[in-house]
Chains A and B, each alone.
Chain A
Amino acid sequence: EIVLTQSPGTLSLSQGERATLSCRASQSVSTISLAWYQQKPGQAPRLLIYSASRRATGIPDRFSGSGSGTDFTLTISRLEPEDFAVYYCHQFGGSPPIYTFGQGTKLGIK
């Protein structure tokens, strides 16, 4: 099973700052299957980024994804109040092929 490790576990920043969230895989993953989600309390996760770098429909361009192989990054260029939430990465692969999620990064207000 491919393990995804997200860092940091918690990130405290101010509105307007830049956020950089990391997702590291235990082995190389297919870029096409790497995605990022945002989850707010009491809500289902929302797709932000798919195929490592493609923004989902309706996602503001302050969100961007990058990376390949084992290292992937979600960047939020200028934090807005609604961006403070938990962020998860996931991938599909391994043997047998299954979806695995990272443990999440909680982005809080400083």
Chain B
Amino acid sequence: QVQLQESGPGLVKPSQTLSLSCTVSGGSISSGDYYWSWIRQPAGKGLEWIGRIYATGTTTYNPSLRGRATISIDTSKNQFSLQVTSVTAADTAVYYCAREGLCFDPWGQGTQVTVSS
């Protein structure tokens, strides 16, 4: 079955750029049947959808990120990626990637990103 795995630095300095990747296994990211999304969750808080990408590169973002998020896709590596610029402590969270087809399933296990100097 399809599995997703996040990877990237666990610590990012304030004002710098957070970069994460999500590797998809067990299925092709370019099949065109699904979108691929990023979601985050600050400690002890709820879930926030960041945005999504389709195999063609079409993206949709949550306006709450105020244009700081960029999602890209690399079909040759079966990966999609997230960049968040100008990070602050408010961006500290567990970041999840997920396959999306009007619901999120499956999810990656999540990766903790802490913004601190």
Chain A: residues with CB nearer than 8 A to chain B? 32-33, 35, 37, 43-47, 50-51, 56, 88, 90, 92, 96-104
Contact = CB atoms under 8 A, between A and B. Distances in A.
Given A44-B108, A98-B60, A51 B102 contact: yes
Contacts of B110: 44
Interface in B85-110: 96, 102-110
Contacts of B102: 32-33, 35, 50-51, 92
Contacts of B96: 44-45
Given A44-B96, A44-B110, A100 B49 contact: yes
Nearest to B107: A44
Interface of B: 37, 46-49, 60, 62-63, 96, 102-110
Contact of B104 (A47, A51, A98): A47
B103 A45 contact: no
A103 B49 contact: no
Given A44-B109, A96-B63, A98-B63, A35 B103 contact: yes
B60 A101 contact: no
The 4 closest A-B pairs by CB, nearest first: A99-B49, A44-B107, A47-B105, A50-B103
B46 A104 contact: yes
Contact of A103 (B46, B104, B108): B46
A56 B105 contact: yes
A18 to B, nearest CB: 24
Contact of A45 (B37, B60, B104): B104
